[in-house]
């Protein structure tokens, strides 16, 4: 019996690029159909445009290979990915974006790596045709993650990957809320193999991954898999304390030996603002960790599924996870 690949494609308001994405992914999978069976799982993350119309046409055209999950509202990219993982029936699972910046032609190469016995295959961005600021912030972020969180994270990061079904089950068992998906994938310790590619410039539509979402995702990565921010704040606090002692000793010496105090309102205000700024920063870091702990205890579902379009399982109504 031929193995099966499940291709997960999360999307939000991608009506312009969806037909091209569907055609490119389908063409690639049909090329490999002598070697494997396949399914394409589109996860509609509460799109407000005509994405659902396009998805309905894909399902009507090929119900044997297309599955559509429709969320009640927008929950975010990572919950959409997890919803796709939980509905995947393949022996291996591929995750890719809907914007065609990641080439579907790599699917067959990742499958061959999987056939060789590799349970995790990462498509790593050797170069990217994005804006300079996007390239710079990505390099800085993933460089920090590689150094302080997990050395297996490639320098350019990854969103496009294949994992074995056994790894998929491990990932789904980790029921967390504020998830850094790359950390989730690598946490079990399965050694990845890498395929490099050039990340293309987005040709149609616009990105729905703004700076604030990227910032929140970055904080999730550090808060979920590293105590480095807290340790850094501890060292900053200790260093400031020692500097304060040296500063106080200096003032005392001036007073005793030269009979002069430390003149100036400006120096006092600078010291107060500096110390108060450090205190607020430390409080903010602690708050990020405490908030995530509180968020975990509420046990709200990561997403709500309004309907599932599948030839094997078709239903409507809210599904929780």
pLDDT tens, 48-84?
999 999 999 999 999 999 999 999 999 988 999 999 9
Tokens for 82, please give them: 């997890």
Q: Residue ranges per domain, the chain?
A: 4-205+301-320, 228-298
Torsion sign (Cα): 95, 100, 102, 107:
positive
Decide: residue 195, CB within 10 A, 0-12 exposed, 13-18 middle, 19+ buried. Answer: middle
Q: Give CA angle at 133 (127, 136), nearest 5°.
A: 55
With beta carbons less than 8 A apart as the criterion, state whether 20 and 54 touch: no
Per cent of the chain over pLDDT 70 is: 79
- The C-alpha atoms of residue 5 and residue 116 are separated, in whole angstroms, by 15
Please state the pTM of the whole predicted model: 0.76
Q: Is the pLDDT of residue 321 over 60?
A: no
Average pLDDT over residues 289-314: 80
CA Rg value for the chain: 25
Q: Are 1 and 36 in contact (CB under 8 A)?
A: no
Instruction: Give the count of beta carbons closer than 10 Å to the beta carbon of residue 177.
Output: 17
Whether the pLDDT of residue 114 is over 50: the answer is yes
**Banded pLDDT at 46 (limits 50, 70, 90):** very high
Domain 4-205+301-320, CATH: 3.90.550.10
- Report the chain's mean pLDDT, rounded to a whole number: 82
- Bridge-based pairing state of the strands 193-199 and 92-95: unpaired
- Residues sharing a CB contact under 8 Å with residue 119, sequence separation 6 or more, in sequence order: 163, 164, 166, 167, 190
40 contacts: CB under 8 Å, gap ≥ 6: 7, 9, 22, 25, 26, 29, 58, 65, 66, 67
Residue 294 pLDDT more than 80?
A: no
Percent of the chain residues past pLDDT 90, beyond the cut: 42
């Amino acid at each position: 019996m031929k193995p099966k690949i499940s291709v997960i494609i999360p999307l939000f308001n991608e009506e312009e690029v969806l037909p091209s994405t569907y055609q490119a992914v389908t063409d690639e999978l049909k090329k490999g159909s002598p070697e494997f069976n396949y399914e394409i799982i589109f996860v509609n993350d509460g799109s407000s445009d005509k994405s659902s119309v396009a998805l309905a046409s894909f399902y009507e055209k090929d119900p044997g290979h297309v599955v559509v999950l429709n969320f009640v509202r927008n929950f975010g990219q990572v919950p959409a990915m997890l919803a796709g993982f939980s509905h995947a029936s393949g022996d291996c699972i591929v995750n890719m974006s809907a914007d065609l910046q990641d080439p579907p032609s790599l699917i067959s190469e990742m499958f061959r790596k999987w056939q060789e016995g590799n349970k995790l295959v990462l498509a790593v961005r050797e170069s990217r045709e994005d804006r300079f600021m996007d390239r710079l912030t990505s390099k800085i972020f993933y460089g920090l993650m590689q150094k302080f969180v997990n050395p297996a994270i490639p320098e350019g990061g990854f969103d496009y990957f294949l994992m074995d079904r056994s790894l998929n089950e491990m990932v789904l068992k980790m029921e967390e809320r504020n998830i850094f998906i790359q950390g989730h994938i690598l946490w079990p310790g399965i050694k990845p193999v890498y395929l490099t590619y050039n990340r293309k410039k987005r040709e149609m539509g616009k990105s729905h991954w703004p700076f604030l979402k990227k910032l929140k995702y970055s904080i999730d990565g550090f808060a979920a898999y590293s105590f480095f921010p807290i340790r850094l704040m501890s060292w900053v606090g200790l260093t400031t304390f020692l500097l304060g002692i040296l500063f106080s000793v200096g003032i005392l010496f001036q007073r005793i030996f030269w009979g002069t105090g430390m003149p100036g309102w400006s120096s006092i205000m600078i010291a107060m603002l500096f110390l108060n700024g450090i205190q607020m920063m430390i409080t903010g870091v602690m708050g990020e960790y405490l908030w995530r702990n509180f968020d975990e205890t509420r046990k709200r579902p990561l997403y709500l599924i309004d309907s599932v379009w599948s030839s094997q399982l078709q239903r409507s109504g809210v599904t929780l996870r």
